Structure 1
Amino acid sequence: MRAPLCCCASSAISLPSLFLPSPFPRNPSPRPARSLSVSTTEPEVSEEASAKPLRRRRLILLRHAESALGDRFTKGRDHDRPLSKAGRTDAISVSYKLQQVGWIPELILSSNATRTKETLQIMKEHAQGFSEAEVYFIPSFYSVAAMDGQTAEHLQKAVCEYSRDEILTVMCMGHNRGWEEAASMFSGATVELKTCNAALLEATGKSWMRPSL
């Protein structure tokens, strides 16, 4: 099998402005970057499968919008913190911006924390196409984001488990520090994700695949 094709970040969305930088540089440090991989060849495939065209596949890594501080509603549980007023406004803005650049997910994988659920609900209400996406809430997205070096591999496995070849755009919603770490590892560059920021990654291949790590 040929080496998998690495995803590189083609753009990044942050608030209040939309930034469209050049592609991130590959491997700026000696440490090799793990990447969400897209297979350009498949082992032991049928003639029908081998005839699949190369298609552009896109991954959105979105950090939840700003959450409220204090335990008035949560009884001290970080998992249950709702969005702040500013966070709700930012969720509307980022949904419009993703729509403007044409990055509408067909599959959404999200942490089940209250702030990510509320971010997603607002986006579904304000951006065309979001309500048609398949949605899965994955509890481990909340916990893995706090573990050093674990998030990128966890996201790889989740995307491969829930996606299908015909799905071309996937959005994963979660938390720092894991989401910044994963975006940096996938792109081979240092990526900063403030609340309600998104890293946009893409590659061309025949299918999603679970890479050998």
Structure 2
Amino acid sequence: MRRLMLLRHAKSDRPEGVDDHERPLAKRGRQDSPLMGIYMAKERLRPNLAIVSTARRAKDTWKLARSAFKHDISRRKEPRIYYASASAILDVINATKPDVKALLLVGHNPGLQDLALKLIGKGSPSDLSRLHRKFPTAGLVVIDFDVKRWRDVSEGLGQLQRFETPTSIGRLTGSG
């Protein structure tokens, strides 16, 4: 069994004169990132490895979310997932070492949304419908695969376990 978690970077700012790769998080992004981390830790959605886009907004999203976990989580910066296609992201996943059971990718749309929709074969119709419509910033998709190796992860094999956003988590906790 393998668990793949896809976390879209949180809401970013667009300061004038700042290169896209270096865009910082907006105020909302700085609030949503730790919220998603707290949710992940509370729900025991702890990755063995976090593969994070080299974009500043993705690195900052993970840094703020990561603070909710008590134990160290291995992290690898990965330039290949910065605005990558679904197939390029899948190549990164397929190359993951077999000792990793729960993998988190922190990246960008449209690649993450396209990848999730390609990999999911089964799941809650309402969650799938929401994911088809939009994968908002700081959104989290959790997909399980009944495979022995990451290289066996392919289209349609995934079971969507959950799709959460800062808004849906706020509804769950009664804080939003």
Paired letter, 1:136: R
Counterparts in 2 of 1:91 and 1:208: CA distance versus 1, 3 Å: same
Deviation at 1:207, TM superposition (A): 2.2
Q: Which residue of 2 aligns with 1:137?
A: 77
Q: Which residue of 2 aligns with 1:57?
A: 2
What is the alpha-carbon distance in structure 2 between the residues aligned to residue 137 and residue 92 of structure 1?
19
Counterparts in 2 of 1:212 and 1:83: CA distance versus 1, 3 Å: closer
Q: TM-score, structure 2 length as denominator? A: 0.75
Secondary structure of the residue aligned to 1:185 is: helix
What is the alpha-carbon distance in structure 1 between the residues aligned to residue 24 and residue 60 of structure 2?
7
Secondary structure of the residue aligned to 2:82 is: helix
Q: RCO greater where, 1 or 2, for CA within 8 Å and sep 6 or more?
A: 1
Q: Kindly indicate whether the alpha-carbon contact (under 8 Å) linking 2:145 and 2:153 is maintained by their aligned counterparts in 1.
A: no
Segments of 5+ residues of structure 2 without an aligned counterpart are 122-127, 156-176
Segments of 5+ residues of structure 1 without an aligned counterpart are 1-55, 145-149
Taking only aligned residues, the RMSD between alpha carbons, in angstroms, comes to 1.9
Deviation at 1:210, TM superposition (A): 4.7
Secondary structure of the residue aligned to 2:138 is: coil
Deviation at 1:198, TM superposition (A): 0.7
Greater C-alpha Rg: 1
What is the alpha-carbon distance in structure 2 between the residues aligned to residue 211 and residue 203 of structure 1?
7
Counterparts in 2 of 1:212 and 1:89: CA distance versus 1, 3 Å: closer
Q: TM-score, structure 1 length as denominator? A: 0.63
Q: Which residue of 1 aligns with 2:171?
A: none
**Greater share of residues in helix:** 2
What is the alpha-carbon distance in structure 1 between the residues aligned to residue 38 and residue 154 of structure 2?
36
Residue 165 (structure 1) aligned with residue 105 (structure 2): no
Deviation at 1:212, TM superposition (A): 7.8
After superposition, give the CA deviation of every residue in 1:58-90 in whole Å (9 maximum; x if it has no partner): 00011001111322xxx2311111011111110
User: Structure 1 vs Structure 2: percent identity of aligned residues?
Assistant: 25
Moved beyond 4 Å, runs of 4+: 210-213
Q: Kindly indicate whether the alpha-carbon contact (under 8 Å) linking 2:32 and 2:138 is maintained by their aligned counterparts in 1.
A: yes
